[in-house]
Amino acid sequence: MSYDALREECLQANLDLPDTGLVDLTFGNVSVADPEARVFAIKPSGVDYKALKASDMVILDFEGKVIEGGLRPSSDTPTHRCLYLHFEGIRSVVHTHSRSAVAFAQSGVDLPCLGTTHCDYFHGAVPVTRDMTPDEIGGEYEWETGMVIVERFKALDPTEVPAVLVRNHGPFAWGPSGKKAVENALALEIVADMAIKTMSIRPNAPPAPQHLLNKHFFRKHGPGAYYGQK
Amino acid sequence: MSYDALREECLQANLDLPDTGLVDLTFGNVSVADPEARVFAIKPSGVDYKALKASDMVILDFEGKVIEGGLRPSSDTPTHRCLYLHFEGIRSVVHTHSRSAVAFAQSGVDLPCLGTTHCDYFHGAVPVTRDMTPDEIGGEYEWETGMVIVERFKALDPTEVPAVLVRNHGPFAWGPSGKKAVENALALEIVADMAIKTMSIRPNAPPAPQHLLNKHFFRKHGPGAYYGQK
Amino acid sequence: MSYDALREECLQANLDLPDTGLVDLTFGNVSVADPEARVFAIKPSGVDYKALKASDMVILDFEGKVIEGGLRPSSDTPTHRCLYLHFEGIRSVVHTHSRSAVAFAQSGVDLPCLGTTHCDYFHGAVPVTRDMTPDEIGGEYEWETGMVIVERFKALDPTEVPAVLVRNHGPFAWGPSGKKAVENALALEIVADMAIKTMSIRPNAPPAPQHLLNKHFFRKHGPGAYYGQK
Amino acid sequence: MSYDALREECLQANLDLPDTGLVDLTFGNVSVADPEARVFAIKPSGVDYKALKASDMVILDFEGKVIEGGLRPSSDTPTHRCLYLHFEGIRSVVHTHSRSAVAFAQSGVDLPCLGTTHCDYFHGAVPVTRDMTPDEIGGEYEWETGMVIVERFKALDPTEVPAVLVRNHGPFAWGPSGKKAVENALALEIVADMAIKTMSIRPNAPPAPQHLLNKHFFRKHGPGAYYGQK
């Protein structure tokens, strides 16, 4: 995959963020990787979405070295890199501060799977990471953020639950393409909003039954999927 | 009614969904039937609303056989078909994941009739269906979804309560035309939103009195209606 | 004031409703009166805002007789007429089903004055009317709706509290012009939304102190006003 | 700095208010100061944003005397002036009635720092001022409003917490430019909205740990900042 193609896919995915209402101000970034070449493109830090061009995207290798690009990469770059190194099969990472997902991250409560909208995208609750230690925060903070995500997924499959809520911070989502990763981030915000509304009607609403969860997730994902066009 | 007319009415009603804010991503579909000819048109599965054309609509008969159309019909097609077979007098079915209606479906709480906005559209609470059994989910899931709706309406008139909330899933609404069915789906979302707000002010707000409900419903529906133009 | 001028002011005020987000579907109407000539113009019943023309406005006298216009007037016409007959100094009445105001009407809880946004428009809580009796609902329902409003204002000055919440129904607002009446209806919805949010943070948040209420209301209203341009 | 430049920066910042959704109706105003020349420009009172021109901005000196401008300055002018006199290093003040921030002001609850979105802008909770006394309200009300803000910041650094919530009223925010002050006002509304959602999931959600707060605030502010472009 050429760097130009990476930059272009990365730009488009970043531009989708304000269009979907997922980001306020400049609170968000997308990266897109070429895992075989072990490189990824990422949004530059603190640049307004309205002014973003493909040539602004920064190309780094999986060791964190800038390969091409004149701007500083997003301050969250080490988190993205950490996920590419640990989660096989993902090609794009999205970070936003979308409001309802942030609310779960701030409350420290896993986002429960309450219905089929959730089941269609996430095979179970979307987990919150543990508190980071003062050492982790004082050290390589953004890398360590990635490491607490990896730790939280020890018993989870990142292709079945393609998102996480970083404690007191906000969501990261991922997927097989920039477009899919942004779609997962948007689905996460939608189901978080639905969950808040559900809990306002019935605070301890039970999660959707396991067989309903399996049915909906595997109706859309994996070899038995029959949703969408062939 | 020609298939072209069915497809066109079906397309327009589907396009109304994103315009009214009722659907996120591709979470929704409308079908429109010709009950005398026992056929209906429905949205294809997983296609973006922006790209939808009349010729994409799939025509099926009431036995579920595709009559015309090169795309896969919506995965929810058997639910629509089940409702056409059991609910006399309906010509269009709408399914959405609109957020406030979903919240009631996820909480398992019937949407209470709290005021005249609700009374104008639904003659009483909008019911939630029972949990589906593992067998129902593992079998002809989408058809069985229709059957639990039909079961829930044993003592209800679907022309007086033109919507339902499928447990842990979301709303289905219907009506005498594509336009009216979408209007019912929108009214449902609006009154669900109002109910959530009402319950946040006063958790056990009592329903509107029965005589107010009757007054408003029959002011707009049936032989004594005097709302709107002749 | 000519009937043409009345119709034009009435049309503009009605068109402001969807523009401000105050109405969904066709849930709202505005009338504008010429109190000296004892006539008023009002929106026709159930007509889509997008299709509304000045010539569609119906002119009635204060006894309820249609003077000019080929369409049915709004079904709420007798409520408007009742307010013109009982509330001196008002020239326009607005009825909406705006969602947060409806939530208070449905909960039966007076909208408390929690801060200066409220004080700027309403000199105290916006009251909810009592339940209507089966006889009132079964009789001249829309006229009786006006009468329970008038009853609720026995000890209130309608120019100091230019809005009311009809129980299990929704808001009516009024003012010295179509534009001002719609502004009051919008301010009502805004402060209702703020109140719901406030009560979610602190369920029994006390009302704003009386001297703050007086200060803000009379900073904008009456002989000592100093807000805005001369 | 020329008066024309002040007026232009002031106009642009005022126009940003409705564009960001921070203000309803005419509930908001921005001033921009030239602290060395001890003058500031401010929005005229009660003028519609749509009609606002640079030449409408009123120029006053720090003693409150109008230097240039044919319109009445905002009724909140003495509050702005008070902040310029007491808070060193600020060049612009914004006042809005943005809804979620108002909800905290109305509830009398300090806006807690629950996550990194908040930490990025405010180094700790955003405080609510005390109730004003009848004498303060009956006297130079708008100036006294400034004085209770100054009192509340006795132990706080206004450059580390660039916003306040005036009790039963609403937010004031400030910054080194019109653009930055509006950004702070917008960030305040966003984190207030996130906090309301968080508290609805978990009413007593604890604040973000102090080391996380320090990390995020100083990642963006001060000599060690590494966010954004150089």
Per residue in D113-126, pLDDT tens?
A: 999 999 999 999 99
Task: Choose among A117, A187, A211: nearest Cβ to B102.
Answer: A117
The single residue of A56, A110, A120, A193 carrying the catalytic annotation is A120
- Please tell me which residue, A223 or D141, carries the higher pLDDT value: D141
Q: What is the pLDDT of residue B223?
A: 85
- Under the banding of pLDDT at 50, 70 and 90, the label for residue B26 is confident
Nearest-Cα distance to chain B for C167, in Å, is 8
Q: Is the ipTM here above 0.90?
A: yes
Q: What is the pLDDT of residue A227?
A: 78
Contact A194 B103 (CB under 8 A): yes
Residues on chain A bordering chain D, Cβ-to-Cβ distance under 8 angstroms: 24-25, 27, 44-47, 71-72, 75, 97, 99-100, 102-109, 131-132, 134, 137-138, 141, 168-170, 196, 199-200
Residue D12 lies in a domain: yes
Q: What is the pLDDT of residue B48?
A: 86
Q: What is the pLDDT of residue B171?
A: 98
- Residue of C198, C214, C218 to mutate when probing chain D, most D C-beta within 10 A: C198
Contact C47 B200 (CB under 8 A): no
What's the Rg (C-alpha) of chain B? 17
Residue A119 lies in a domain: yes
Residue B152 has a CB neighbour count (10 Å cut-off) of 18
CA–CA dist B170, B74 (Å, integer): 16
Residues on chain A bordering chain B, Cβ-to-Cβ distance under 8 angstroms: 114-117, 183, 186-187, 190, 193-195, 197-198, 200-202, 205, 208-209, 211-212, 215, 219, 226-230
All residues of chain C having their beta carbon less than 8 Å from the beta carbon of residue D105 are 115
Residue B172 lies in a domain: yes
Among A90-94, B49-53, D23-27, whose mean pLDDT is lowest? Answer: D23-27
Residue with token string 């969950």: A195
Question: For the whole model, what pTM was predicted?
Answer: 0.96
User: What is the number of CB-based contacts under 8 A between chain A and chain B?
Assistant: 86
- Please tell me which residue, D4 or B24, carries the higher pLDDT value: D4
Task: Choose among D201, D219, D227: nearest Cβ to A109.
Answer: D201
Q: Provide the domain limits for residue B30.
A: 3-220
- In this predicted structure, the answer to whether residue D98 has a pLDDT above a threshold of 90 is yes
- Residue of A49, A71, A107 to mutate when probing chain D, most D C-beta within 10 A: A107
- In this predicted structure, the answer to whether residue A50 has a pLDDT above a threshold of 90 is no
Specify the CATH number for the domain of residue B179: 3.40.225.10
The sheet with strand B163-166 has its strands ordered as B66-68, B58-61, B39-42, B28-34, B92-96, B170-175, B163-166
Q: What is the pLDDT of residue C225?
A: 85
- Under the banding of pLDDT at 50, 70 and 90, the label for residue A201 is very high
End-to-end CA distance of chain A: 25
All residues of chain B having their beta carbon less than 8 Å from the beta carbon of residue C134 are 209, 211
Tell me what the pLDDT averaged over chain B comes to.
95
Among A201-205, A212-216, C22-26, whose mean pLDDT is lowest? Answer: C22-26
Task: Choose among C194, C208, C226: nearest Cβ to D75.
Answer: C226
Contact B219 C104 (CB under 8 A): no
- Residue of D186, D190, D194, D220 to mutate when probing chain A, most A C-beta within 10 A: D194
Residue B225 lies in a domain: no
Indicate the SS3 state at residue C183: helix
Contact C106 B194 (CB under 8 A): yes
Instruction: Outline where DSSP puts E strands in D150-198.
Output: 163-166, 170-175
- Under the banding of pLDDT at 50, 70 and 90, the label for residue C181 is very high
Nearest-Cα distance to chain D for C44, in Å, is 28
Residue C229 lies in a domain: no
- Under the banding of pLDDT at 50, 70 and 90, the label for residue A62 is very high
Residues on chain D bordering chain A, Cβ-to-Cβ distance under 8 angstroms: 114-117, 183, 186-187, 190, 193-195, 197-198, 200-202, 205, 208-209, 211-212, 215, 219, 226-230
Nearest-Cα distance to chain A for D196, in Å, is 8
Task: Choose among D187, D194, D228: nearest Cβ to A45.
Answer: D228
Which residues have C-beta within 8 Å of that of residue B106, sequence separation ≥ 6? A114, A115, A194, A195, A198, A205, A208, B168
Closest CA to B198 of C188, D102, C130, C195: C195
- Residue of A99, A114, A117 to mutate when probing chain B, most B C-beta within 10 A: A117
pLDDT tens for residues C129-143? 999 999 999 999 999
Runs of H (alpha helix) within chain B:
3-19, 77-86, 99-107, 116-119, 134-138, 141-152, 178-201, 210-220
All residues of chain D having their beta carbon less than 8 Å from the beta carbon of residue C230 are 72
CB B190 within 8 A of CB B117: yes
Residue D227 lies in a domain: no
Q: What is the pLDDT of residue C6?
A: 98
DSSP B169: T
Residue D66 lies in a domain: yes
Q: What is the pLDDT of residue A226?
A: 81
All residues of chain D having their beta carbon less than 8 Å from the beta carbon of residue C117 are 27, 97, 102, 170
pLDDT tens for residues C75-118? 999 999 999 999 999 999 999 999 999 999 999 999 999 999 99
Q: For B146-157, what is the mean pLDDT?
A: 98
In chain C, which residue's Cα lies nearest the Cα of D75? C227
Tell me what the pLDDT averaged over chain A comes to.
95
In chain B, which residue's Cα lies nearest the Cα of A114? B106
Residue D165 lies in a domain: yes
Residue D106 has a CB neighbour count (10 Å cut-off) of 33
Instruction: Outline where DSSP puts E strands in chain A.
Output: 28-34, 39-42, 58-61, 66-68, 92-96, 163-166, 170-175
Contact C196 B197 (CB under 8 A): yes
Domain count of chain D? 1
Indicate the SS3 state at residue A184: helix
All residues of chain A having their beta carbon less than 8 Å from the beta carbon of residue B71 are 229
CB B190 within 8 A of CB B110: no
Q: Would residue B121 show up in a list of annotated catalytic residues for this protein?
A: no
In chain B, which residue's Cα lies nearest the Cα of A210? B134
